[in-house]
Structure 1
Amino acid sequence: MPALSFEAPGRLKLGRPVAIIDIGSNSVRLVAYEGLSRAVTPIYNEKVLCGLGRHVATTGRLDEEAVDRALRALARFRVLCDTMNVSDIFVLATAAARDASNGPAFLEAAAKACGQPISLLSGAEEARASALGVIAGFHDPDGIVGDMGGGSLELVDVRGSQVGQGITMPLGGLALQDVSGGSLKKAQRIVREALERAPEYLENLHGRTFYAVGGTWRALAKLHQAARDYPLHVMHGYLIEPDDGLDFLRLVEEADAKTLKDIESVSEARRPLLAYGAMVLEEIIRLGQPIEVAISAFGVREGVLFDKLDAATRERDPLIAAASDLNLLRSRSPRHGEELCQWTEAFIRSLGLPEVEYDIRLRRAACLLADIGWRAHPDYRGEQSLNLIAYGAFAGLDHPGRAYLALSIFFRHEGLSPDKVGSRIKTLAGPRLLERARLLAALMRVAYPVSVAMEGVLPQVPLLARGNQIVLQLPAHLEPLANERLMGRMRGLGKLLNMDTVIEIV
Structure 2
Amino acid sequence: MPEHPARVAVIDCGTNSIRLLISDIADGSKTDLLREMRIVRLGQDVDRTHHLAEEAIERAVQATREFAAMIEMFEATQVRFCATSAVRDADNAAVFEDAIEGILGVRPIVLAGLDEARASFLGATRDLEVERTLVIDIGGGSTEIVVGTGEDVEWSVSLDIGSVRLTERFLTSDPASVAEVIACMNHVDSVLAPIVSQIDPVASFVGVAGTVTTVAAHSLALPSYDSATIHGARMSIGDVRAACLSLVQMSVADRRALPFMHPGRADVIGAGALILDRLAELLPLATDTLVVSEHDILDGIAWDMVST
Aligned to 2:205, the other structure's residue is in SS state strand
Cα distance in structure 2, aligned partners of 1:114 and 1:176: 32
- What displacement does 1:112 show? 1.2
Aligned pair partner of 2:282 in 264, 282, 287 = 287
Count of equivalent residues: 297
Corresponding residue of 2:245: 250
- What displacement does 1:39 show? 3.3
Deviations 1:118-163 (A, max 9, x none): 2110001001111111221322142211111111001111123321
Corresponding residue of 1:271: 266
Deviations 1:280-316 (A, max 9, x none): 11111111253121111111111122234559xxxxx
Identity of aligned residues (%): 25
Deviations 1:209-248 (A, max 9, x none): 221111121111111111799x995222111111222222
Cα distance in structure 2, aligned partners of 1:239 and 1:140: 17
1:200 lines up with 2:197 in the alignment = yes
Aligned to 1:240, the other structure's residue is in SS state strand
Tell whether the 8 Å contact from 2:215 to 2:240 is kept in structure 1 after alignment: no
1:258–1:163 distance in 2 versus 1, CA, 3 Å: same
Deviations 1:399-452 (A, max 9, x none): xxxxxxxxxxxxxxxxxxxxxxxxxxxxxxxxxxxxxxxxxxxxxxxxxxxxxx
Gaps in structure 2 of 5+ consecutive residues: 173-179
TM-score under structure 2 length normalisation: 0.88
Gaps in structure 1 of 5+ consecutive residues: 1-11, 312-506
Q: Structure 2 counterpart of 1:214, which letter?
A: A
Tell whether the 8 Å contact from 1:137 to 1:296 is kept in structure 2 after alignment: no
1:108–1:223 distance in 2 versus 1, CA, 3 Å: same
Aligned to 1:76, the other structure's residue is in SS state helix
Q: Structure 1 counterpart of 2:161, which letter?
A: L
* Structure with max Cα Rg: 1
1:87 lines up with 2:66 in the alignment = no
Tell whether the 8 Å contact from 2:25 to 2:306 is kept in structure 1 after alignment: no
Aligned to 2:216, the other structure's residue is in SS state helix
Equivalent positions of 1:29-428 (< 5 A) are 29-36=19-26, 38-180=28-170, 182=172, 183-201=180-198, 203-204=199-200, 206=201, 208-226=203-221, 234-256=229-251, 258-259=253-254, 263-290=258-285, 291=287, 292-309=289-306
- What displacement does 1:181 show? 5.2
Q: Which has the higher helix share?
A: 1
1:308–1:17 distance in 2 versus 1, CA, 3 Å: closer
Q: Which has the higher strand share?
A: 2
CA RMSD across the alignment? 2.6
Tell whether the 8 Å contact from 1:25 to 1:53 is kept in structure 2 after alignment: yes
- What displacement does 1:38 show? 3.3
Cα distance in structure 2, aligned partners of 1:74 and 1:170: 25
Where relative contact order (Cα < 8 A, 6+ residues apart) is larger, the structure is 2
Q: Structure 1 counterpart of 2:188, which letter?
A: V
Cα distance in structure 2, aligned partners of 1:268 and 1:100: 25
Cα distance in structure 2, aligned partners of 1:61 and 1:37: 43
- What displacement does 1:89 show? 0.7
Q: Structure 2 counterpart of 1:224, which letter?
A: S
- What displacement does 1:260 show? 6.2
Cα distance in structure 2, aligned partners of 1:227 and 1:68: 33
Cα distance in structure 1, aligned partners of 2:290 and 2:223: 16
Stretches of 4+ aligned residues off by more than 4 angstroms: 257-262, 308-311
Tell whether the 8 Å contact from 1:71 to 1:109 is kept in structure 2 after alignment: yes
Cα distance in structure 2, aligned partners of 1:164 and 1:207: 12
